[in-house]
Chains A and B, each alone.
Chain A
Amino acid sequence: MWVLRLGRCFSGAASGGASSGSRLARAAPGGGRQEAAGDPGCKGRVFQNPTWQHVEQTPLSQKKVTVEVLDHLERLALVDFRNWEGVQQLEKAIQFADQLHAVNTEGVEPMDSVLEDRCLYLREDNITEGNCTEELLQNAKEKVEEYFVAPPGNIPLAKLEERDTCLQVSK
């Protein structure tokens, strides 16, 4: 497992999945909080040499996901883990994310988003949108007289015992 040393220096998107090792693409960052680049003459501020650090896999990261937690997740996020492989994927994803605990964040304010230092724009209270009923309803699978149609209320998920997906999590 590799992890890149993170600080509040870079604005960029994280890409990659759980299975293979991921790379964090770094866009050209702005601002003066940049860690010194190796060569002052180079264009852009990308490090010359990779700074990957190996993170030890602690026993803590081998936490198993219980059936109750899975059930809870399925109701909250309306996902279906379907089978044992799906659950394994989930466990691997959790393990991967847990690498973040290796970062020393002492004295660092938690960041909400990369935009949090920007000014929140305040819009004037004027009406400039709306009146596009037809356009909006174009996407609707079913409609009744300009209303969207949805199934009745909240359809409760079947109880855990009754479901036909077999989850064999207890290893």
Chain B
Amino acid sequence: MAASILRRCRASLQARHRRVGVIAALQSGALGRRPESSPARESGVAPWVAVVGLEIHAQISSNSKLFSSSQVQFVAPPNSLVSFFDASLPGTLPVLNKRCVEAAVMTSLALNCSINKKSLFDRKHYFYADLPAGYQITQQRLPIAVNGRLSYSFWESGKKDRMVTRSVRIKQIQLEQDSGKSLHDDIRSQTLIDLNRAGVGLMEVVMEPDMSSGEEAAAAVRELQLILQTLGSSQAIMAEGQLRVDANVSVHHLGEPYGVRTEVKNINSARFLARAIDYEIQRQIKELENGGTVLNETRAFDHKLGCTISMRDKEGKQDYRFMPEPNLPPLILYDTKSLPANTSHQQVVNIDWIRERLPDLPSVKREKLVEQYGILPEHSFTLLNEEGLTEFFENVVKQTQMNPKKVIGWILNDTLGYLKQHNLTVKESPVSSLFLADLLNLQERRAISSSAAKQVLAELWKGEGKTPFQIVKEKKLELLQDQQELEQICQDVMDGHQEEVKEIKQGNRKVLNKLIGLVQRATRGRADPVLVKQTLEKRLSQ
């Protein structure tokens, strides 16, 4: 069975079209895969439109769990962070964690939601070994927040320089419990259950199906991740399961009603999210074009094969038999106007108090960077996307006279480029902001040329602890000041390349770059490129 899945996936991988357009208007003919498609068909059929909705579970960053005071920690000996309530022993009752409520309120405010001052808890029943109680406490009837909006930006595929900004509506945010972890042991036909994660607080963010491609979904998730990390309400590390995303995908012809949707699960990173959604869109289109139907089912994403596989484990539609949680009264939130008189401060969650203390959200941080340093909005996105990069950039700017607009090039191209190449984080960078600032100062003071600066930087990456100044001295990379020496070198290069000189004199300016390159090589990059060009041009015109 695995072999046939493999064959099917490989076939679809080869056939699939990687770039999904902005409105995801995919002309079935435009895929260009079947040269035999009839022209009549191509002209008469409306383009395909994909509809993508996300359900996101974010693990709340708190010391203890949502309804019990056992610890929240990713790695721990099995079943060591479990209280009697988490193990669902009879006689135990849920006690709500104030920190989890505050985290949910912060997140709801950051996503522009209306907060329900009264929200209710419900039980969602289903049987699974990692859910010891047989039900999950969630907020189905009246969640803590509704009707929000999340703005995100991404580089439109095919147009690398322009960022597109979109927004997706947030249907609701609710508090709920996490389940335990099950480890399947197929050899011994058993499942091992670890309840350390059972009962941890989750915020479920339900988005409306406003998106239409994998890259949009990935951008929205990335922005949500940044917001959660800025607020501190969740660390949102997908690899550690702190941020879990399920995608609902369907396709239909433009103008027609929505198609049947499938749910895609088991997505472990933002990158896989885009891939999984794009694959599923293509799979559904292909299925429908071949006269088949799309089943309303759950599919798992296999990141190694790059395809989704049906999880035919479900027996028909699940009936969760929602009922109110009888052990928890409604959750009441207050604002400054409705603060109760005789209640202890500790027992009150004040929405206005939390709103006043919200940190700057990523969108605000980006605006400030653009305004303060004059960099492009695209630059601010890259700065925020990389952990620690903004700080690094600001530190360099503080310690150098170079214009921030020029510094940003050194940060985004050279520094970030090197880090990515060697798979390092900003924290692990062998070049400190101080050294980079020193280097840029040397260039600003015209002590070295820009090409020499790049050579020094390459040397600095070795992380041997030498300062830029020391490297310049050692490698004798000081700026070539002697104009006569430069003129001589230019003349030597011209003499050695009569052909090229002739071509330039005939009007082929591009060959000049070759000569400039040769001069630079001869000077080991010590000469100012602008001056080299001027000198050559002067000589050539003589």
Chain A residues in the interface with B (C-beta under 8 A) = 72, 75-76, 78, 112-113, 115-133, 136-137, 139, 142, 144-154, 156-157
Contacts and interface: CB of A to CB of B under 8 A. Distances in A.
B346 A125 contact: no
25 contacts: A113-B324, A113-B329, A119-B329, A120-B331, A121-B95, A121-B96, A122-B101, A122-B347, A123-B97, A125-B63, A127-B71, A129-B70, A129-B84, A133-B80, A133-B82, A136-B79, A136-B82, A137-B79, A139-B89, A147-B192, A148-B79, A148-B192, A148-B193, A149-B192, A152-B186
B305 interface: no
Nearest to B324: A112
B202 to A, nearest CB: 16
A113 B321 CA distance: 17
Contact of A150 (B69, B95, B97, B129): B129
A150 B99 contact: no
A30 to B, nearest CB: 16
B329 A147 contact: no
B183 A124 contact: no
A155 B39 CA distance: 51
A71 to B, nearest CB: 10
Interface in B183-198: 183-186, 189-195
A127 B99 CA distance: 12
A146 B77 CA distance: 8
Contacts, number: 145
Interface of A is mostly: loop
A169 to B, nearest CB: 20
A133 B125 CA distance: 26
A112 B246 CA distance: 31
Contacts of A116: 329-330
B69 A152 contact: no
B98 interface: yes
B74 interface: no
A153 B96 contact: no
Interface of B: 62-64, 68-71, 77-85, 87, 89, 95-101, 120, 125, 127-129, 182-186, 189-195, 313, 315, 319, 321, 324, 326-332, 343, 346-347, 349
Contacts of A136: 79, 82, 84, 87, 195
Contacts of A149: 190-193
B79 A127 contact: no
A124 B120 contact: no
B319 to A, nearest CB: 6
A122 B96 CA distance: 5
A13 to B, nearest CB: 12
B79 A154 contact: no
Given A76-B321, A122-B101, A150-B192, 12 more contacts: A117-B329, A120-B328, A126-B63, A127-B64, A129-B70, A130-B71, A132-B82, A142-B190, A150-B191, A152-B191, A154-B127, A154-B128
B69 A123 contact: yes
Question: Which 8 pairs from chain A and chain B are nearest by CB?
Answer: A150-B129, A129-B83, A130-B70, A125-B99, A147-B192, A122-B98, A112-B324, A148-B193
A121 B328 CA distance: 9
